[in-house]
Amino acid sequence: MKVLITGGAGFIGGHFANRLLQSNNVHIDLLDNFARAVHDPFLDALKAKPNVGVIERDLLLHGALDDLADDYTHIVHLAAIVGVVHVLKKPYDVLRSNEGMMFAALDLAHRQKNLERFVFASTSEIVAGTLLQYGIDIPTPETTPLCVPDPSDVRHTYLLSKLYGESLCHHSGLPFTCVRPHNVYGPRMGLVHVVPELAKKVLALPEGGELEVFSADHRRTFCYVDDAVEIMARLMTGGDDCQGVFNLGTQDPEVTIREMAQAVVDKIGKHVKLVDGPVMTGSPTRRCPDMGKTTAACGFTSQVSLAEGVGRTLDWYNEHVFKAGGPSAV
Ligand SMILES: NC(=O)c1ccc[n+]([C@@H]2O[C@H](COP(=O)([O-])OP(=O)(O)OC[C@H]3O[C@@H](n4cnc5c(N)ncnc54)[C@H](O)[C@@H]3O)[C@@H](O)[C@H]2O)c1
């Protein structure tokens, strides 16, 4: 197997590379411009392996991938502009850049001699238009009809870029797998995520302090990154059943943000009182993938419990970020 992972130095990309390294006979190239990813000990350990290469490259530069080989068996396209901050501040860039990156990855895939699979990371938010206009079933299957939300609303630019990306996959003529990640979490996911955000707040509170929890009653399912990359690896290397569009996540348990906050507090072990904060606008009250199709195709369901996943995540953040002194270590 020779695998190129765009956005490979990022959160999911780095863990996915580690998972693929469990197989014999694999070479992995991680391509990233380090817009969000950082050079850290995790990446250094990957780079030190003889069968891993790191290509520091901006996918949006003209001809960025022209010098890359034509013998990749798998191309995994994870690079994207992600995150609410970018979406709200630079909606045009989100649309333009995510499509530009997608075309660069697809053009490279089209000139491969023996490509077995093109994998594209879409998003759970792809059903947001349907949710707004008609409501959706919970758990939500991949067959949910997709409605286009108001394209003038900045918040929809990210999902529109992913919707267009999925459509490109369908019409690319390539063997493809689109995954729709649902709240994947774990070490090295940055600081703009509910788990490290809650942890930072708890750590800053005095013993007996009050933790304000936003959208406390909203319900989510969280997927620990080791489970997510196991599913991705199985889908990527699986047969025809593993082609098409798949939810990537955990179906149960569904937990409230309050319960997630409690899990963080329990792990840190501080006596803190949880109080309900405001509800975040635009945040769906429930999000939960129907994992039936994915489980049937890849024969695997998430194994890591919420307490275990939060524990492992916070152990990592404590060692590499909170003690080490900041986001540059993420
Ligand atoms: N983490 C989740 O729960 C989740 C949920 C929904 C969708 N996704 C999708 O999964 C993919 C991976 O997400 P992640 O959480 O690992 O995000 P991430 O930000 O850690 O990874 C994306 C990587 O792309 C790189 N990148 C951005 N612009 C680039 C460019 N012009 N050239 C080269 N590299 C560039 C960034 O530096 C970053 O390392 C993304 O496409 C994201 O939209 C993730």
Confidence class for position 100, pLDDT limits 50, 70, 90:
very high
CA–chain centroid gap for 207, Å, is 34
Task: Please report whether residue 95 resides in a domain.
Answer: yes
List the residue whose alpha carbon is closest to atom 25 of ligand 1: 7
pLDDT number for residue 324: 65
How many whole angstroms from 270 Cα to the centroid of ligand 1? 33
Asked if residues 51 and 24 have their Cβ atoms less than 8 Å apart, the reply is no
Helix, strand counts (H, E) of the chain: 11, 14
Task: Please report whether residue 212 resides in a domain.
Answer: no
295 vs 291: CA distance, rounded Å: 6
Q: Output the domain CATH number for residue 246.
A: 3.40.50.720
How many whole angstroms from 82 Cα to the centroid of ligand 1? 6
How many whole angstroms from 78 Cα to the centroid of ligand 1? 5
- Residue 320 in 3-state DSSP? helix
Token pair of 92 as six digits: 């045009």
> Which ligand 1 atom minimizes the distance to the CA of 190?
20
Q: Is the CB of 213 under 6 A from ligand 1?
A: no
Asked if residues 287 and 220 have their Cβ atoms less than 8 Å apart, the reply is yes
List the residue whose alpha carbon is closest to atom 7 of ligand 1: 123
Q: Is the CB of 3 under 6 A from ligand 1?
A: no
Mutation choice for ligand 1 from 12, 223, 235, CB with most ligand atoms inside 8 A: 12
Q: Is the CB of 178 under 6 A from ligand 1?
A: no
How many whole angstroms from 297 Cα to the centroid of ligand 1? 25
Confidence class for position 328, pLDDT limits 50, 70, 90:
very low
Q: Which structural domain, as residue segments, surrounds residue 143?
A: 2-182+225-251+288-303
pLDDT number for residue 330: 45
How many whole angstroms from 232 Cα to the centroid of ligand 1? 15
The verdict on whether omega for the bond into residue 196 sits within 30 degrees of 0, i.e. cis, is no
Confidence class for position 325, pLDDT limits 50, 70, 90:
low
Confidence class for position 280, pLDDT limits 50, 70, 90:
confident
Strand 219-220 and strand 255-256: pairing? antiparallel
Phi/psi class of residue 295: alpha, beta or left (left: φ > 0; alpha: ψ in -120 to 50)?
alpha
List the residue whose alpha carbon is closest to atom 34 of ligand 1: 32
pLDDT tens string 107-154: 999 999 999 999 999 999 999 999 999 999 999 999 999 999 999 999
State the DSSP code for 65: T
Task: Please report whether residue 203 resides in a domain.
Answer: no
Task: Please report whether residue 81 resides in a domain.
Answer: yes
Task: Please report whether residue 187 resides in a domain.
Answer: no
pLDDT at 31 over 50: yes
Confidence class for position 84, pLDDT limits 50, 70, 90:
confident
Phi/psi class of residue 29: alpha, beta or left (left: φ > 0; alpha: ψ in -120 to 50)?
beta
Task: Please report whether residue 321 resides in a domain.
Answer: no
- The arithmetic mean of pLDDT across residues 176-200, rounded, is 95
213 vs 262: CA distance, rounded Å: 10
Task: Please report whether residue 8 resides in a domain.
Answer: yes
Q: Is the CB of 221 under 6 A from ligand 1?
A: no
Mutation choice for ligand 1 from 19, 31, 36, 157, CB with most ligand atoms inside 8 A: 36
pLDDT number for residue 327: 46
Write the CB contacts of 272 (distance below 8 Å, at least 6 apart in sequence): 202, 205, 208, 209, 210, 211, 265
Q: Provide the percentage of residues in the chain whose pLDDT is more than 90.
A: 93
- The arithmetic mean of pLDDT across residues 212-221, rounded, is 96
- The arithmetic mean of pLDDT across residues 97-111, rounded, is 98
- The arithmetic mean of pLDDT across residues 172-199, rounded, is 96
In the block, tokens 């001699």 appear at: 113
How many whole angstroms from 37 Cα to the centroid of ligand 1? 9
- The arithmetic mean of pLDDT across residues 46-71, rounded, is 97
What pTM did the predictor assign? 0.97
Q: Which amino acid is at 133?
A: Q
Q: Is the CB of 94 under 6 A from ligand 1?
A: no
Q: Is the CB of 33 under 6 A from ligand 1?
A: yes
3-class secondary structure per residue, 85-120 = HHHHHCHHHHHHHHHHHHHHHHHHHHCCCCCCEEEE
pLDDT number for residue 87: 87
16 or 86, greater pLDDT: 16
Task: Please report whether residue 234 resides in a domain.
Answer: yes
Which residues share a beta bridge with 56? Answer: 32
pLDDT number for residue 329: 40
What's the domain count of the chain? Answer: 1
Strand spans (E) along 208-252: 210-213, 219-220, 223-224, 244-248
Q: Is the CB of 229 under 6 A from ligand 1?
A: no
pLDDT at 262 over 90: yes
Angstrom distances, CA of residue 76 to CA of 3, 228, 254: 7, 14, 29
How many whole angstroms from 254 Cα to the centroid of ligand 1? 25
110-133 burial: b if 16+ Cβ within 10 Å, else e: eebeebbbbbbbbbbbbbbbbbbe
3-state helix, strand, coil in the chain (%, to 5): 40, 15, 40
pLDDT tens string 47-57: 999 999 999 99
Strand 176-181 and strand 184-185: pairing? unpaired
List the residue whose alpha carbon is closest to atom 2 of ligand 1: 184
How many whole angstroms from 305 Cα to the centroid of ligand 1? 24
